[in-house]
Structure 1
C-alpha cells in the first residue's frame, strides 16, 4: 500500500472518529432527565445555572463554561424570561415574571458547553406555572443604585428586601407581599454608568393584594418634593425609613420611589406586554399602564 493510500485511510479514519464524536455528543444532549420547578404567575422567579448542573467540577476557571438557555424547540427564550451571566461567581441565571395566561407549563433547554473538554450537554427545565390566589393590586416601585440585577439572586437578598416591607413598611401585607417585576435599568432604557466600577442599578416592584399602609402613604408624601428632580443626589439619605434599607445594603434612589395602584386590566397588560422590556422613559419616571398616586 503506498503512502497516499495510507494518508487517505488516516484522514478517513479521523473524519469517521470526528463524526462519531458528534453523534455521541448529540446523543448525550438529547437524553436528559427533566428538572422540575414550580413558579407562580405574576411573581418573579429565578433559576441558578451552575457547572454542577452538568456534573462538571466548579473548581476550575468558571470562564470555561458557556450556557445557552432557550424555549424548547425554539432559538430563544419567551419574552418574559431573561438570562444573565454573573461575572463574579461565573453562574448563569434565568429569571422573569410569568404572565397571566392559559399556559400552565413550559420547557426550557439549557445547553452547556465545557470549553476545556468541548463537551456539550443539555438539561431540560420543566416550569409549572401556578395560579396566584391573591394577585397584587398595589405595587411599590423602587430603584436600587448599588446593585446589578444578578446581585439580587444572591442567597437571602430578595427575602431581606421583602422583610423590610413585611416587618416595617407594609406590615398589613405580611402574608401576601411578593416581588412582581425585576429589571435592570439598562433594560428600561437608562444609560450605562460612565464609571465601569459603578453598578447599573436595578428596578424592583413589590406587590400585594393589601392596600398600602399608612407608613407607605406618609413616605410617599415625605419624598414627593423629590419627584421634581430628574436625578437624585447619589448619596441622598434623608428619609425616615432609610436605615432599614441601608442596614441591608440597599442604597435607594428616592426620586424613583412610587406607589402604584393597578386595575386588573392594566395589571394583565403590564405583566404580559412584551414592551415592558424596552421602556425608554425611565429617567422621567413615565411608566406605561401605571398611575402614580401623587398624580391622582
Structure 2
C-alpha cells in the first residue's frame, strides 16, 4: 500500500512539472508599455529577471515589430553585466508609437524568452523628421551607464549644454546615441583588463537640419592643429560644458549619415558587379528555356570557330608575305640532293607535281583526237 502511494505521488509530481513546463512554454508573450517624449533622451532597462525566473547571463537582441532592425533613432546598448541591457535614444519620428520585439537567450541552456515593448510618444512637431547630421563629443568623465541610470538630472543638464552650444534656426540638437569610449571585444569586457580605470562616453549629437558652418570650420581647425584641441579653455564651445563635463575636443567629429548610407549602397553595388557576375550568368542560364539556351550555345560555338578561322587566315597571310619577299634566285643544291621539282626548274620544263593521273590520260586522249582530225583534213 505504501509503495503504491509513493508511485502515485511520483507520477503526480512528474505530470505536474510537465504541465507547468508546457504552460510556461506556450504562455502568451508578455507585453509592456512605456512613455517617452519626442526630442528628449530616453533609456529603458532590460533585465533578465523580467524574462526568466531568476537573474542569468543572456544574449540580447531587439528589432522593431515586423522589421529586421531597430529604427534609426533607437539603439540597443549592452551593459558590462550580461544580465542587463538598455534601449536608448531620442525619439525623432513622425510616428506616435512603436512596438519593439525583445529576445533574451540564456548563455548556459540557450533557452529563449521574448517580450514586446510598446513606446508611446508625446508629440512635439519640432522632432517629426529624421537625423541629417551628427557630431561626436567624447565626454571623458562620464561613463555611458551613468547617463542611463541617472537620478540627479545629469542627462537634462547635458541636453541643456548642447542646446546652448549648437544654436541656430531649426537646429534643435539632441542626443542621438551614447557609446563607450573603449569598444568591448567579442565575449570580453575591457573592465577585465583595467578594473580600476574609468572610461568615458562617446556621445553623438544629432540634428534634423545642418549645424552652423562655424561648427564645420572648428572641426577643420581642430584637426589641423593638435595643440589647439588640447587647450580646451580657448575653444569657444567648451564654456557650456566646463562646469560638469570634461570634453576631449581632439575627438570632435562631424558626420553625415546620409553620405555614409550612400557609400554603403555603392560598395554593395560594386560587390555585386565584380563578384556576382558568374553567379548571375549561372542564374540566367538556369532560367533560360532549353531551346533558346541551345541556340545561344550554338552561336557561341560559331563565334569561337570564326575567331579561330580568322587567326588561321592571318597566319597564312603572314606566311605568304614572307614567301613573296624571298629572293627570286634559288640557292643551288648538289645534284645528289636535288629534288625532282628543283631539276624541273633548272631545265625549264613544266612539271605538275600534284596533277591527277586520270587528268593526264584525258588530256593525252584529247591531244590524240586533235592530231587525227588534222590528218583527215589534210
Residue 126 of structure 1, aligned match among 89, 113, 118: 118
Q: Which runs of 5+ in 1 are unaligned?
A: 57-62, 114-119, 273-296
8 Å contact from structure 1 (residues 220, 258) kept in 2: yes
TM-score by length of 2: 0.47
Matched, 1:138 2:165: no
**C-alpha distance in 1 between matches for 2:43 and 2:145:** 10
SS of the aligned residue for 1:47 comes to strand
| Change beyond 3 A, Cα 1:254–1:53 | same
Q: Which residue matches 2:314?
A: none
Q: How far is the alpha carbon of 1:257 from its aligned partner?
A: 0.9
Aligned residues: 243
The structure in which a higher percent of residues are strand is 1
8 Å contact from structure 1 (residues 185, 200) kept in 2: yes
Deviations 1:20-52 (A, max 9, x none): 33245446x5264441556879x9753234799
Matched, 1:22 2:14: no
Q: Which residue matches 2:246?
A: 251
Q: Which residue matches 2:172?
A: 176
**C-alpha distance in 1 between matches for 2:159 and 2:94:** 26
**C-alpha distance in 2 between matches for 1:110 and 1:136:** 27
TM-score by length of 1: 0.57
**C-alpha distance in 2 between matches for 1:93 and 1:200:** 18
| Change beyond 3 A, Cα 1:78–1:7 | farther
> For residues 20-169 of structure 1, what are the structure 2 equivalents within 5 Å?
20-26=19-25, 29-30=27-28, 32-35=30-33, 37=35, 45-49=42-46, 64=55, 70-71=62-63, 78=70, 81-85=75-79, 92-95=85-88, 105-109=98-102, 123-127=115-119, 133-153=128-148, 154-155=150-151, 156-167=153-164, 169=165
8 Å contact from structure 2 (residues 98, 119) kept in 1: yes
> For residues 222-261 of structure 1, what are the structure 2 equivalents within 5 Å?
223-225=222-224, 227=226, 237-240=232-235, 241-248=237-244, 250-260=245-255
Q: Which residue matches 1:281?
A: none
Deviations 1:169-203 (A, max 9, x none): 222257621222332234488x9475312233221
RMSD (Å) for aligned C-alpha atoms: 5.1
| Change beyond 3 A, Cα 1:15–1:99 | farther
Q: How far is the alpha carbon of 1:16 from its aligned partner?
A: 1.7
Rg comparison, structure with higher value: 2
SS of the aligned residue for 1:161 comes to helix
SS of the aligned residue for 1:254 comes to strand
Deviations 1:147-190 (A, max 9, x none): 322222224333322211212x222257621222332234488x
Q: Which residue matches 1:12?
A: 11
Q: Which runs of 5+ in 2 are unaligned?
A: 107-111, 266-378
Deviations 1:230-265 (A, max 9, x none): xx97xx7544344532322x22222101234x374x
8 Å contact from structure 1 (residues 69, 83) kept in 2: no
Q: Which residue matches 2:331?
A: none
**Relative contact order (alpha carbons < 8 A, sep ≥ 6): 1 or 2 greater?**
1
